[in-house]
């Protein structure tokens, strides 16, 4: 299950990603927002991140206009490693080396087709483990 969250600036791209996930029969849960009416990204970033951290969802995707604010909000939740990606190589490497469990994108930065490719790579790439597992554990040890 994939947790989705966005603010008003990311709403349209989130809706496109939902159609993309539907076309691949990938289950998701939408934690809001539900329209393009102005709202606060931390609320929806936190909701999606908590779903991932609790194990209710395996991975998460959050979207705001730049991806910056919502990624910061998601990363405040213990156990979350949310990577802001604007290209498919970053999406691959955040999974391969950092075991990122959430992806953030900026709807004002990334177009729809590229966003779909970023999501595809993020969801298909496995964590390498090995020396990277030690580094991810060091990051986890930093959490309060």
Nearest in space to 130 (alpha carbons), one of 99, 102, 104 = 99
Separation between Cα atoms, residue 104 and residue 34, nearest integer Å: 18
Q: Which residues are catalytic?
A: 64, 97
In the three-class reduction of DSSP (H, G, I as helix; E, B as strand; rest coil), residue 124 is classed as helix
In the three-class reduction of DSSP (H, G, I as helix; E, B as strand; rest coil), residue 51 is classed as helix
């Amino acid at each position: 299950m994939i947790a989705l969250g966005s603010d008003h600036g990311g709403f349209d791209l989130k809706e496109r990603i939902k159609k993309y996930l539907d076309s691949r029969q990938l289950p998701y849960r939408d934690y809001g927002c539900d329209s393009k009416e102005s709202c606060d990204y931390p609320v929806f970033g936190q909701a999606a991140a908590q779903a991932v951290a609790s194990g209710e969802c395996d991975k998460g995707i959050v979207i705001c206009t730049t991806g910056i604010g919502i990624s910061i909000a998601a990363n405040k939740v213990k156990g979350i490693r949310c990577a802001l990606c604007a290209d498919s190589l970053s999406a691959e490497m955040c999974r391969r080396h950092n075991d990122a469990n959430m992806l953030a994108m900026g709807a004002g930065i990334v177009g729809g087709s590229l966003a779909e490719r970023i999501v595809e790579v993020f969801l298909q790439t496995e964590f390498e483990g090995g020396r990277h597992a030690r580094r991810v554990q060091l990051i986890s040890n930093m959490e309060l």
